[in-house]
Structure 1
Amino acid sequence: MEQTSPSASGPVLRFLRPALMLAFLVAGAVLLRAVPGLRHVLDSTALLRDGVWGRVVFLAGASVWCAFGLPRQVAGFAAGLAYGAVEGTVMITLASTAGCVAGFFWARWGGRQWAQARLGARFARLDAMLSRQPFLSILTLRLLPVGSALLLNLLGGVSGIGVLPFAAATVLGGLPQNVVVVLLGAGVRLDAVWQFVLGGGLFVASGVLGVWLLRRAQVGRIVQDSGQTGQPDA
């Protein structure tokens, strides 16, 4: 029987893995939106308040919901409605972080080799910038008031950063928005002034971190170039 050589199967696997990764994410997101079961679970406060079992159900359902990039605000509002401000914040933070980490590992399995092979030098530069300051890079992107959590999970997975700084930055970066949506679910009224202050604070914090991160990346690149050319540092 004729066997397929590893050299011939390598390109096929590099193409098959990202195709499976994207197909799984798209199919899961469509099904979760179309099938009312999981959304009904998140809306069922009686079930979610049912002791330890209810909290396990919430963590499992909300983690799956966030892993497929569906709106975290839905799960956060349900957490505030079911558990109140403090416990709700803890629950949605645990669930959203677990979902993001699941997306991170899925992207690492399915997309890293493809990104290295197809994007070449462009991906290498992006990977080097993220890997130089992994925690601050992800934290800055998480704090931005706009953007896709799913795309950031995929970016973290295909890059070379470790899962621990990714998870820690996800916890801290998602905390401000988690607090706001849980407070709304718990019935705490946030007027327009507070919403404006919180949104402006997030924007300023992300901007400051972004500028600082860019400066560190530029300094690191200068030092690296100087070391390669044998010139003394300026």
Structure 2
Amino acid sequence: MTDNLDRPTGAIPGAVQAAPICHPAAMSRRHRLLRVGLLILGVGGLAGAAALLPMREIGDAVVALGPGAAVAVAVLGGLLLSVLVPRTAVTVACGALLGAATGAIAALAAAIIAATATYYLGRWAGRGALQAKTGGRLARLDGWLNRRGLAAVLLVRFLPLAPFGLVGYAYGTTSVCRKRYLLGTTIAAIPSTVTYAVIGAAVAAPGRMGPLTIAPAVISFILSTAIVIRWRQTSRRVLAPA
């Protein structure tokens, strides 16, 4: 009698109640889409705010900080790069505000800050997205990036394929380790950073520029061009047998 009362209405005697089926893959996909959406909203909101900020007044206030100006510029520049502001504009502004040498150091620090932040945010939002497409083009791309390692990072960073911050977000979704990514990004950023910082300093104070101050920019430009040409030649030789 007790058994009949305790049994739920409509239950069949002796039948085992089926447990609810959970789909981990579907949940993972929904979570990933949610995170990507949140990341897009955050980046878009910050980008819109950055477009409305009085950058000239902010620049003057930052320079007035004195010795801490370089640190403030680096942090602000890293934030701007993370919301997809072009690195050329940020680096030129660093040179104009701080001079060629200090501006180049601050711009390079900003690039490293943005590269680190975008990589980890991309990994948080889309880690495993490429691996989920097993056998597809994205999976093959992820495998190629992982095999080439540092060389692949250098190639992608040297070529103007996409905004600096967007490349960082994309790399976060790959299986490339953070050490190779950050090392390759730093090496690839040095030539263009020096070049554009010198240009910014020359625009702000043309009278202070001379052959010796422009020389680092020329050397960096020649070096980056030589690296890209060398890489293309090596890639052609490797792909020729295939």
TM-score normalised to the size of structure 1? 0.75
For 1:8-63, what per-residue CA distance to the aligned partner results, in whole angstroms no more than 9, with x for missing partners?
Answer: 63332122122222222223222211x214x236532x632523432232122111
> 2-side partners of 1:25 and 1:167: how far apart?
21
**What is the correspondence of 1:187-198 to structure 2 with a 5 Å cutoff?**
187=202, 188=209
Identity of aligned residues (%): 21
**Residue identity opposite 1:70 in structure 2:** V
Which of the residues 116, 131, 139 maps onto 1:116? 131
The Cα of 1:211 is off from its aligned counterpart by 4.4
The Cα of 1:163 is off from its aligned counterpart by 1.2
**Residue identity opposite 1:115 in structure 2:** L
2:44 matched to which residue of 1?
26
Which of the residues 191, 208, 211 maps onto 2:230? 208
1:227 matched to which residue of 2?
none
> 2-side partners of 1:61 and 1:4: how far apart?
48
**Residue identity opposite 1:85 in structure 2:** A
Which shifted more, 195-204 or 17-26? 195-204
Distance 1:117 1:41, change over 3 A: farther
1:232 matched to which residue of 2?
none
Larger radius of gyration: 2
Distance 1:211 1:18, change over 3 A: farther
2:13 matched to which residue of 1?
none
1:226 matched to which residue of 2?
none
TM-score normalised to the size of structure 2? 0.73
Distance 1:103 1:214, change over 3 A: farther
Which of the residues 28, 36, 40 maps onto 2:56? 40
Distance 1:175 1:85, change over 3 A: same
Q: Is the CA contact 1:145–1:202 (under 8 Å) kept in the aligned structure 2?
A: no
> 2-side partners of 1:42 and 1:204: how far apart?
38
Distance 1:54 1:124, change over 3 A: same
The answer to whether structure 1 residue 104 and structure 2 residue 122 are counterparts is no
> 2-side partners of 1:126 and 1:135: how far apart?
15
**Residue identity opposite 1:163 in structure 2:** R
Q: Secondary structure of the residue that 1:70 maps to in structure 2?
A: coil
Q: Secondary structure of the residue that 2:35 maps to in structure 1?
A: helix
RMSD, aligned α-carbons: 3.3
2:74 matched to which residue of 1?
59
Which shifted more, 120-129 or 206-215? 206-215
Which runs of 5 or more residues in structure 2 are unaligned?
Answer: 1-19, 203-208
Which runs of 5 or more residues in structure 1 are unaligned?
Answer: 223-234
> 2-side partners of 1:182 and 1:119: how far apart?
43
Q: Is the CA contact 1:145–1:203 (under 8 Å) kept in the aligned structure 2?
A: no
Which of the residues 7, 14, 26 maps onto 2:32? 14
The Cα of 1:127 is off from its aligned counterpart by 1.1
Q: Secondary structure of the residue that 2:192 maps to in structure 1?
A: helix
